[in-house]
Each structure stands twice: as C-alpha cells, then as structure tokens.
Amino acid sequence: MKHTISVLVENHAGVLARVAGLFARRGFNIDSLAVGVTDDEKVSRITIVADGSAYTLEQIEKQLNKLIDVIK
C-alpha cells in the first residue's frame, strides 16, 4: 500500500540525506520525494511517497521523529 509522509525539517545541508538514509536502513523504498520551502525560510517540507506495510510506516515515523533536524 502507498503511503504519503510529510515532514517539516530544519533547512540546512545534510537533512535530506539523513531522512533518505533512514528509509534506506529500513529497506523502505521511496517512490517519490519532493522538498519545498515553507513561509519560514529556516524550515523545509519533505514529502515522501513510499510503498510498505502500516507497521513499517509506523516504525519509520517513530524514527523520523527522533532525528535532530525533524521539527514535525
């Protein structure tokens, strides 16, 4: 099943690599990825579409929230 995850992150170098690396370590394939700015230039939104089970998605969300650069 396809899932869409939207994450607000601090806008600086290396954040996207850390988020993508989390997916890679879990063996979770990213089907689509988009990054855009928000009203606050210090914050970016990463939107990811991925295919996987609900359990795997839940684990990914928990791990994303532990990353230092993830705001929400």
As for how many domains the chain has, the answer is 1
Residue 26 lies in a domain: yes
Range(s) of the domain holding residue 21 = 2-66
- Mean pLDDT in consecutive groups of 10 residues from the start of the chain, 72 residues: 91 92 87 94 94 85 86 79
Residue 72 lies in a domain: no
Residue 19 lies in a domain: yes
pLDDT of residue 60: 87
User: What whole-number distance in Å separates Cα of residue 43 and Cα of residue 2?
Assistant: 26
∠ CA 36-53-16, nearest 5°, is: 25
User: What whole-number distance in Å separates Cα of residue 71 and Cα of residue 43?
Assistant: 8
pTM (two decimals): 0.86
CATH code of the domain covering residue 40: 3.30.70.260
User: What whole-number distance in Å separates Cα of residue 39 and Cα of residue 45?
Assistant: 10
Residue-wise pLDDT for 28-39, tens only, equals 889 999 999 999
